[in-house]
Amino acid sequence: MRVVVCGKTTEIKEGTSLQDFMESHGLGKRQAIAVLNEKVVQNHLWPETVLAEGDYLELVSLVGGG
Amino acid sequence: MIEKDSLVIGGKELPSRFLLGTGKFGRKESMREAIVRSGTGLVTVALRRIDLDRNDENILSFVPEGITIMVNTSGARNAAEAVRIARIAREAGYGNWVKIEIINDSRYLLPDNDETIKATEMLASEGFVVLPYMHPDLYAARALVKAGAAAVMPLGSLIGSNQGLKMRTMIEVIIEEVREVPIIVDAGIGRPSQAAEAMEMGADGVLVNTAVAVAEDPVLMAVAFARGVEAGRMAWLAKGGKESAGASASSPLTGFLYEQDK
């Protein structure tokens, strides 16, 4: 199944939850904001959010800035 | 006598008129220390796409509790992109303070006032506390206030340039004419003396990043800036004398000892 993550097409297994995906990339709740199809998915909803074919996932985080 | 004199933005009283950006710090621990020691109550942060091959530490783990976080919209080239960034930050739980920074000039990094006004209007109507970074133009400043800005932040000089108050006269005009919201000088302030100068002119606050972050001792520099801001503010409140072309003695010139009538 294909999803687009940060602009890159990525192959993932059927039934992968957002939580699974984030954990497999070492991204905890403190580091990342998940924006799925232009909507922020709150941290506590990651486990029950299952990624679907064609989803567009944008991952952002707060960094230093002026 | 020094009375209580706080900077209030969007109904919030800040403990200092010195605001600090969190970019470019070599060590995040120095940044934390700079925040604590300078006494600033507000820091800016940016939102960036995560690089999945690199795991960066969350900047917020180095910002002490109780400090107001203001997310900037850096990277936005127009109002729509700025609005999107602000909404993501708020939905993710990072509060509703936003510094609008819309830049589509890659050489001089100057903010686009027209797009900034549009974004300010949209975000203010959605309940954000909006602090637009702008090119110091009186009409734009007025439009920003009308659009709902909680403060107006004219640039002192080119961002990151350490050139100080190159825009001095135009900022003075804004300070004089725009009384409804605080005026914060943002960008280009390179030395504490320049921060003090901005405050002596009547600015309500100063936002500094590069000059502190790239100093060999960022903590000491942050404290120096905070004191510069404080000194300038006190001088402004004290209402100094006018500059004059001629001399005026500060000691009495008459009645010398041993002086004799002729």
Decide if A65 and B49 are in contact by the 8 Å CB cutoff.
no
Taking the mean position of all CA atoms in its chain, how far away is CA A24?
Answer: 11
- Decide if the complex's ipTM is over 0.90: no
Q: Calculate how close chain A gets to B2, using CA atoms only, in Å.
A: 31
Q: Calculate how close chain A gets to B92, using CA atoms only, in Å.
A: 6
| Cα distances (angstroms) measured from residue B226 to each of A51, A53, B135 | 48, 52, 24
Tell me the residues of chain A between 15 and 44 that have a Cβ less than 8 Å away from chain B. Answer: 25-27, 30-33, 35, 39-40, 42
Instruction: Please state, in angstroms and rounded to a whole number, the distance separating the CA atoms of residues B123 and B149.
Output: 9
Decide if B47 and A40 are in contact by the 8 Å CB cutoff.
no
Per-residue pLDDT tens, chain B, 262 aa: give them.
Answer: 456 789 999 999 999 999 999 999 999 999 999 999 999 999 999 999 888 777 667 788 899 999 999 999 999 999 999 999 999 999 988 999 999 999 998 899 999 999 999 999 999 999 999 999 999 999 999 999 999 999 999 999 999 899 999 999 999 999 999 999 999 999 999 999 999 999 999 999 999 999 999 999 999 999 999 999 999 999 999 998 888 888 888 887 777 677 777 6
Instruction: Please state, in angstroms and rounded to a whole number, the distance separating the CA atoms of residues B229 and B207.
Output: 10
- Answer whether 0.80 is exceeded by the pTM: yes
Instruction: Please state, in angstroms and rounded to a whole number, the distance separating the CA atoms of residues B105 and A46.
Output: 38
Closest residue, chain A, to B61 (C-alpha): A30
Please give the average per-residue pLDDT across A19-43, as a whole number.
Answer: 87
- Closest Cβ opposite residue A63 in set B56, B92, B187: B56
- B28 belongs to the catalytic site: no
Decide if B52 and A33 are in contact by the 8 Å CB cutoff.
no
